[in-house]
Amino acid sequence: MKWLAVACALGVALCWGMYGPTLSHARAPKGEWGPFKPYLFIGIAYLVIAVIGGARMMTVAFNDKVDYWGTYAPARKFGFLAGCLGALGALFLTFALTKAGGKPAYVMPIVFGGAVSVNAVAAFLSLKQGETASPLMWVGMAFVAVGIIMTAGNTPHGHSPAKTASASPDRENTPAIQDPDAAEESAGTGES
C-alpha cells in the first residue's frame, strides 16, 4: 500500500507545483485588483472539490456517516484547523504571486523547501521524552536550504521584454521613461 501513498504524494507535488505558475497568471496587469479577487475563486474551487466532492465520496464511495460528534470530534477539529492552515497558506501564496510581485521560479522553492523543514521541526517538537531525532535530520534541512537557493537561482525566469524607448511622431523630443521609480527620481532631482 506504500505505492499508493507515494502516488498520492506525487499527485500533490504535481498539483501544488503547478499552483504557483497557474496563480501567477491571476496577477493584475497594472495593479487594478488585489489578491482577494483570485483568492475568492480558490475558495470556490475548494468548496466545489472539497465540500461537495468530499461529502459525496464520504457517503457514496466509503459508506461513511456525516457525523462529527463524540469519537468523530477530532475529524472536525483537526480537519478545520488543517483547512485554516491550508487557506492561510493559499492566501500568503496568492499575495506573494500577485500583489507582492513574486515569481513562481523563486517563491515555489521557498514554499516547498520551507514546508519540508517546518514539517521536520514539528515532528522534532512532538517527540516524547526519551525519543531522539537523528542528527542527519538537521543535515537534511541544511541541504534543503541549499537546494532552495540552487533551485530558485537556476530556474528559468522567462524572457523579459526589451527595454527600448520608442518615440511616437508627436513626442520625438520627449524621452520615454519605462520605470516609474526612475521617473520619480528624475522629477525629484530636476533631471529630465
Report the pLDDT averaged over residues 14-39: 84
Residue with cell 537523528: 134
Q: What is the pLDDT of residue 158?
A: 64
Q: What is the chain's mean pLDDT, rounded? A: 82
Q: Residue 125: pLDDT above 90?
A: yes
Report the pLDDT averaged over residues 21-25: 87
Q: Which residue has the higher pLDDT, 163 or 109?
A: 109
Q: Which residue has the higher pLDDT, 82 or 164?
A: 82
For residues 49, 55, 57, 60, the Cα torsion angle rounded to the nearest 10 degrees is: -150
Give ∠ CA 15-17-19 in degrees, rounded to 5. Answer: 70
Q: Residue 184: pLDDT above 70?
A: no
Q: Which residue has the higher pLDDT, 83 or 172?
A: 83
pLDDT band at 171, cuts 50/70/90? very low
Q: What is the pLDDT of residue 156?
A: 85
Please, is 184 exposed, middle or buried when counting C-beta atoms within 10 Å of its C-beta (0-12, 13-18, 19+)?
exposed
Q: Residue 183: pLDDT above 90?
A: no
Report the pLDDT averaged over residues 52-58: 91
Q: Residue 39: pLDDT above 80?
A: yes
The rounded distance, in Å, linking the Cα atoms of 148 and 108 is 9
Q: pLDDT by residue (tens digit) across 134-162?
A: 999 999 999 999 999 999 889 886 655 54
Task: Look at residues 153, 175, 148 and name the one whose alpha carbon lies nearest to residue 164.
Answer: 175
Q: Which residue has the higher pLDDT, 110 or 158?
A: 110
Report the pLDDT averaged over residues 82-90: 92
Q: What is the pLDDT of residue 155?
A: 86
Residue 119, SS3 per DSSP: helix
